[in-house]
């Protein structure tokens, strides 16, 4: 199987029915058109994910129902998942575990990853963003992904986990290789699998040492708190601690980087909304949410039927796999008025729009959401406060997305800033 070989573009002669082709490289720039056609005509659409037959779910109500139902699981532990997950070099993170293991680990992590820890990080995160913007203004240009989003994300995770600044940059390299490896294994090339394995080993070697140091000399970072986290007699084992630390980086790095890329590009494409946000900074929190609905960094997630069950009028059997395309659900006209309009006021005021699925819902709801929101608001807030003019420094047609399917990731985003 060639990496990324997950769909072909059927000609009209081959099929009268709309096919799910959003993963085709030609649709990378705009998967939303195809999502919309599929949602309208085949909301539960059969699809070959490489050699795995799955159903693509695109309606908001169906995605939400699956995410909230215990009829649907990951199923790796029970051996029923059709999605092969083979990062044998990594302990499985609780992102892909089911209860009761998921419940236990998430509960222990929740004890350490408290709102107090997260809120205390805000001033440093914002100061970092302000510094990066001031540097960019001095040169007049900013490559948003490598010079803004990546340092913001590695700085934030480094601060959270107590990783010194000089190692923070390595976190991104590791996370990039591991994040590509979060697409189903059968879609990855040999080179990508090898890069993921090397990054995982390097990453673990570093974190094993860090954990040992923090056990011996605790500080107030998350690794020290995780090492100390206890629930009655329960605590995280050494392997679990490693798994949780790496999950934070894998779950929190590329998502945050891609979020910032998406937010800046979307605002540049909607100058009226950009101007409105400059005028009314109180809309920042709503704008952060609207980006997660409109062009979310995590496009879909996967689940497996634990037993015979029904969704959207269709019966699924135990072991059947679904791709829940939350990015398509965000544009569902049954869930949002004028869903293709980017509207930064949508989540503001006494009657905000329905919650988006950008952080998922149900038991796997993003554990880092409060931190992600602070980081997102700081990044956008600092960029607007520190500039009077922003514009794309290349043609739209030159924008390139990385090959990942789950992550919607701009390779670069050069802008002019003054
Ligand atoms: C804008 C940035 C982010 C986005 C869009 C995002 C999105 C998501 C989504 C969609 C899920 C659930 C996947 C599923 O249901 O299968 C998730 C889970 C998770 N995220 Fe985030 N995330 C972001 C930032 C972060 C950050 C900064 C951290 C930590 C520092 C983090 C930690 C986690 C963890 C630990 C989970 C697993 C939760 C569980 O399985 O119970 N995320 N995230």
Backbone angles phi, psi at 231, to 5 degrees: -130, 105
Query: Hey, how many other C-beta atoms are within 10 angstroms of the C-beta on 67?
Result: 21
Residue listed under structure tokens 């009209």: 12
Q: In what side-by-side order are the strands of the sheet with 390-392?
A: 141-143, 414-417, 390-392
Rounded distance, CA 191 to CA 188, Å? 8
- As averages over each run of 10 residues, the pLDDT of the chain (418 residues) reads 44 67 90 97 95 96 98 94 71 87 93 91 97 98 97 93 82 76 74 84 88 90 87 82 87 94 98 98 98 97 98 98 98 98 98 97 97 98 98 96 91 98
The 10s digit of each residue's pLDDT in 359-375 is: 999 999 999 999 999 99
- The pLDDT, as a whole number, for residue 197 is 84
* Distance between CA atoms of residues 156 and 371, nearest Å: 9
Query: From CA 95, how far away is CA 102, in angstroms rounded?
Result: 8
Which of 102, 150, 152, 255 maximizes ligand 1 atoms within 8 Å of its Cβ, making it the mutation to test the pocket?
A: 255
Q: HSE, CB side, 13 Å, CA atoms: give it for residue 304.
A: 20
Residues recorded for the chain: 418
> Which amino acids bring their CB within 6 angstroms of ligand 1?
94-95, 106, 160, 247-248, 251-252, 255-256, 259, 296-298, 301, 358-360, 364, 366-368, 371-372, 376
CA 247 / ligand 1 centre spacing (Å): 9
**In the prediction, which pLDDT does 279 show?**
97
Q: What number does the ligand 1 atom closest to the CA of 371 have?
A: 27
- DSSP string over 328-341: HHTT-TTTSSSTTS
Percent residues over pLDDT 90 in the chain: 68
- Per-residue b or e along 359-387, where b marks 16 or more CB atoms closer than 10 Å to that residue's CB: bbbeebebbbebbbbbbbbbbbbbbbebb
State the pLDDT at residue 87: 59
Q: For residue 377, how far is its CA from the centre of ligand 1 (angstroms)?
A: 17
Structural domains of the chain in order of their starting residue, each with its CATH number: 45-417 (1.10.630.10)
Q: Return the ligand 1 atom nearest residue 106 CA.
A: 41
* Residues 256, 262: Cα–Cα separation, whole Å: 10
How far apart are the C-alpha atoms of 260 and 410, rounded to whole Å? 10
Torsion of CA 342, 289, 278, 136, to 10 degrees: -100
């Amino acid at each position: 199987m060639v990496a990324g070989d997950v769909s072909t573009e059927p000609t009209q002669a081959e099929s009268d029915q709309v096919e799910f082709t959003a993963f085709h490289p030609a649709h990378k720039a705009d998967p939303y058109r195809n999502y919309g056609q599929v949602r309208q005509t085949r909301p539960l659409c059969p699809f070959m994910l490489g050699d795995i037959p799955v159903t693509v779910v695109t309606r908001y109500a169906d995605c939400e129902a699956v995410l909230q139902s215990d009829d649907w699981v990951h199923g790796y532990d029970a051996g029923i998942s059709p999605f092969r997950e083979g990062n044998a070099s990594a302990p499985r993170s609780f992102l892909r575990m089911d209860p009761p293991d998921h419940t236990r680990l998430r509960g222990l992590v929740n004890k350490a990853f408290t709102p107090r820890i997260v809120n205390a990080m805000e001033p440093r995160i914002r100061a970092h963003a302000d510094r990066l913007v001031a540097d960019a203004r001095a040169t007049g240009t900013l490559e948003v992904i490598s010079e803004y989003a990546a340092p913001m994300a590695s700085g934030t995770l480094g601060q959270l986990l107590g990783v010194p600044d000089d190692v923070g940059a390595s976190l991104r390299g590791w996370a990039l290789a591991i994040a590509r490896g979060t697409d189903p294994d059968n879609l990855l090339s040999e080179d990508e699998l090898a890069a993921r394995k090397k990054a995982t080993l390097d990453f673990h070697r570093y974190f094993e040492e860090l954990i040992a140091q923090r056990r011996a000399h605790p500080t107030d970072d998350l690794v020290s708190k995780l090492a100390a986290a206890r629930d009655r007699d329960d605590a995280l084992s050494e392997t679990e601690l490693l798994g949780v630390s790496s999950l934070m980086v894998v779950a929190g790095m590329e998502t945050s980087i891609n979020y910032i890329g998406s937010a800046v590009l979307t605002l540049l494409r909607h100058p009226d909304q950009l101007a409105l946000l400059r005028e009314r900074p109180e809309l920042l929190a709503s704008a952060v949410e609207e980006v997660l609905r409109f062009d979310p960094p995590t496009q879909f997630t996967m689940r497996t039927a634990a037993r015979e069950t029904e969704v959207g009028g269709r019966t699924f059997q135990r072991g059947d796999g679904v791709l829940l395309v939350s990015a398509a659900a965000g544009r569902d006209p049954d869930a949002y008025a004028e869903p293709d309009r980017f509207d930064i006021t949508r989540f503001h005021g006494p009657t905000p729009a329905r919650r988006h699925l950008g952080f998922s819902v149900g038991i796997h709801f993003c554990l880092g959401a409060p931190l992600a929101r602070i980081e997102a608001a700081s990044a956008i807030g600092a960029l607007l406060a520190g500039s009077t003019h922003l514009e794309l420094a290349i043609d739209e047609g030159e924008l390139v997305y990385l090959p990942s399917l789950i992550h919607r990731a701009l390779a670069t985003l050069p802008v002019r800033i003054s």
